[in-house]
Amino acid sequence: MEKRQLGTSGLEVSALGLGCMGLSFGLGPVTPPAEAVKLIRAAFDRGVTFFDTAEAYGELNEMLVGQALASVRDQVVIATKFGFKEGNAQLGVDSRPERIRLVIEQSLRRMKTDYIDLFYQHRVDPNVPMEDVAGTVKELIAEGKVRHFGLSEAGVPSIRKAHAVQPVAALQSEYSLWWREPEQEILPTLAELGIGFVPFSPLGKGFLTGKIDENTQFDKSDFRNSVPRFSPEARKNNQALVDLLGRIAQQKQATPAQIALAWLLAQKPWIAPIPGTSKLHRLEENLGGASLKLSADDLREIEDAAAQITIEGARYPAALQQLVGR
C-alpha cells in the first residue's frame, strides 16, 4: 500500500489506517478478542501500518491492539488518546498534566510497549491551558515515551497554541463526503502549519457504504441510536448521497465505500483516513479504495452532484457537539 507523510512531522503511515474503536466499543456487540486480534493482524498483512485506539475505548481495546501488533511493533504506527475523566467520555474532559502522565503509563502497560507513536488529546479541555497540555506531551517525547503529538476535533485557535509549544504531527477529526466542515478553516490551517490530517468516520459511520437505510435497526448499545443524522427520517433524506456514490461506483466497477475513501485520499496528499470494521471482507473492500484513482473528471462529477444534496441531521447529540471545535 502507498505510504503517506503526516504533514512535515516525518511520521510515515499507510494511506489507509485501521480505526479499532468498533472492535470493542460504541458500535454494538464486542468482537470476540481472538477475532479482533486476527482482524488487526490481517490488516497489517495487507499493508496497513497505522492503527488507532484510545483510553476512552476501554482497556480491552488497547490490549487487543498491543497483542495483535506485538511481534511487528517496530513496523507499525500506534496512535492512542488521552483527555477524559477516568477515561470515560460520559464524565467530561480532563487533560491535567498529572492525568496525561497517568494515561501514558496505563497505555504503555496495556499495549506492552515502550512508546506510543502518536499521542492525541481526545478533546480540548477548556479548563487546562493548551500550553500546559502541549508542554506535558513535549516532556513525554523528551522522555522517549511518546514520539509525536496529535489533537482530535480541536479548533484553529487550539491547534495554533499547541503547535507553538510542541509541533502537532496530526489532527484527527471527522471528514467525509457527508461532513465537510473541515474544508472551511481546518484544512487551510493544517496546510499552513505542516500538520497531517487523519479523518475518522470516513464512511459516515457506515452510512456511505450503502448497507444502511431508513429501516436499519441498530443494536441497543450502538451509539448511532443517539445521533440525529441517523434518525430514520434523516437516513431517508440522506440516501441521495449514497445513491450518488453508487452511480460513480458502478462506472468505476467499485463499491460506494471505495469511492468515498478514494475521494478522501484525493483531497490532500497528507490525509490518511482510518476506516474501522470488524469484518475481514469489509477490511478488504476498504483497502481496495486505496488503490482506486479518481480522475479530475470523476472528482468534478462528484463535486457537482454533491453540491446539489443537502445533508440532514446533526452529526452528534448536543452534549457531544459541545466538545468539538474548541
- Distances 69 to 39, 65, 155, 218 between C-alpha atoms, Å: 11, 6, 32, 30
Backbone phi, then psi, for 109, in 5-degree steps? -70, -45
The residues that bridge with 5 in the sheet, in sequence order, are 12
Exactly one of 57, 120, 175, 316 is catalytic; which is it? 57
Q: Rounded distance, CA 45 to CA 83, Å?
A: 32
Of 173, 184, 157, 198, the residue nearest 7 (C-alpha): 198
First vs last C-alpha separation in the chain: 34
Q: Rounded distance, CA 134 to CA 265, Å?
A: 29
Residue indicated by cell numbers 469489509: 282
Q: Rounded distance, CA 13 to CA 1, Å?
A: 10
Q: Is 115 among the residues known to form the active site? A: no
Residues 162, 190: contact at Cβ < 8 Å? no
| Active-site residue list | 57
